[in-house]
Amino acid sequence: MKYGLLIRAGFWFNDKSLRDWPLLILSLLAFPLGAFAVEKLAFNNLITDGVATCLHIFLSTTEIIYPVLVILKCDSAVLSGFLLIFIACIVWLKLVSFAHTNHDIRQLTMGGKKVDNELSTDDVDNLQPPTLENLIYFMMAPTLCYQPSYPRTSCVRKGWLIRQIILYLIFTGLQGFIIEQYINPIVVNSQHPLKGGLLNAVETVLKLSVPNVYLWLCMFYAFFHLWLNILAEILRFGDREFYKDWWNAKTIDEPVHKWVVRHIYFPCMRNGISKEVAVLISFLVSAVLHEICVAVPCRILKFWAFLGIMLQIPLIVLTAYLKSKFRDTMVGNMIFWFFFCIYGQPMCLLLYYHDVMNRIEKAR
């Protein structure tokens, strides 16, 4: 440790962050309850499908705009703002799935029309209006796709659960240590990658690549492997496929991937949109959500996160071409590790840090 211990509490939390947290309760309670009320009215034929759709659009739009306004107004820590907008985006995804799936259920049970979502045989046998109990379970469950019932485990493994919680706390602290001890000193002493010299930018990115990879591994392990499994174990949630072998260029975020496929990609395909355009729309939605999660807490709009997601499309095309040319699956793995971990994330980190610092300097 070249500079000694550099842990600062201000990065994680400050006294002004308390003003953000009522948003958490509002996002988790008010908007899902509003969506539930809309579905009850629709299933009882008190409102039409068109009115129900409009109300769901209003609720989901308000749910994502309100936290943006609160975070921009409250001068809280960046991490606090990120956590709140991240939770708000999760709730938004769940609200969309809740509305979309229940719309399909109404079409099946009341109209007999063709639906957008593929429902399982078990669901077809039990297509009932949503209850408050299954709504609460869905909002707490580690999934973004609503369905009337989920596979459940027989019991909660208490010893295993305690071990996972301990590991989660350890790796959460380790993330803070890596950020404060290794990443922050490099970033603070760096220049803007688009304004400084090329060699300086390359050197800084390479310096950041090692701690950034360690940070990414800790974040992935803590959230996707530990936290989601902790929630699943407490709720006895049976589907534990939260990720695939992303280190081999497979899907990283399986819950979001399933949501995009179910609520964006397949509906586009069924409405006559070509596969290529459906993929583009899917990436566009994902890119917008990523940009919101980063731009709002940082209070800047530079589209670096947006571009980072959209640039995956040409990388996918390039990977497919190189795989077919060299007949080697290792090509995709190398491209992933270089562009995603070694180059992409450190570069985005530098860009956002210096843009935030420039904004703060101008505000003074």
Tens of pLDDT, residues 300-318: 888 888 988 898 888 888 8
Give the mean pLDDT of 70-80. Answer: 77
Three-state secondary structure call for residue 14:
coil
Calpha distance 145→116 (Å, rounded): 13
Contact between 216 and 341 under an 8 Å Cβ cutoff? The reply is yes
Calpha distance 251→103 (Å, rounded): 28
Query: Among the options 56, 103, 263, 290, which is catalytic?
Result: 290
Max distance between CA atoms of the chain, in angstroms, equals 69
- Alpha helix locations (H) across 179-197? 184-188
340, pLDDT greater than 70: yes
The pLDDT score that the predictor gives to residue 236 is 95
The pLDDT score that the predictor gives to residue 5 is 53
Name the residue among 286, 329, 292 with its Cα closest to residue 71: 292
3, pLDDT greater than 60: no
**Segment among 58-67, 79-88, 261-270 with least mean pLDDT:** 79-88
Average pLDDT value for the chain: 84
Cβ of 39: how many Cβ atoms within 10 Å? 24
The pLDDT score that the predictor gives to residue 26 is 67
CA-based Rg of the chain, rounded to a whole angstrom? 22
14, pLDDT greater than 60: no
Is 290 a catalytic site residue? yes
190, pLDDT greater than 90: no
Name the residue among 340, 144, 151, 146 with its Cα closest to residue 256: 144
Tens of pLDDT, residues 146-165: 988 899 999 999 999 999 99
Name the residue among 146, 99, 151 with its Cα closest to residue 258: 146
185, pLDDT greater than 80: yes
Calpha distance 25→47 (Å, rounded): 28
Tens of pLDDT, residues 200-256: 888 888 888 889 889 988 999 999 999 999 999 999 999 888 887 766 655 566 889
Calpha distance 56→96 (Å, rounded): 8
pLDDT band at 136 (very low <50, low <70, confident <90, very high): very high
The pTM for the full model equals 0.87
Six-digit token string for 111:
């109209």
The pLDDT score that the predictor gives to residue 298 is 86
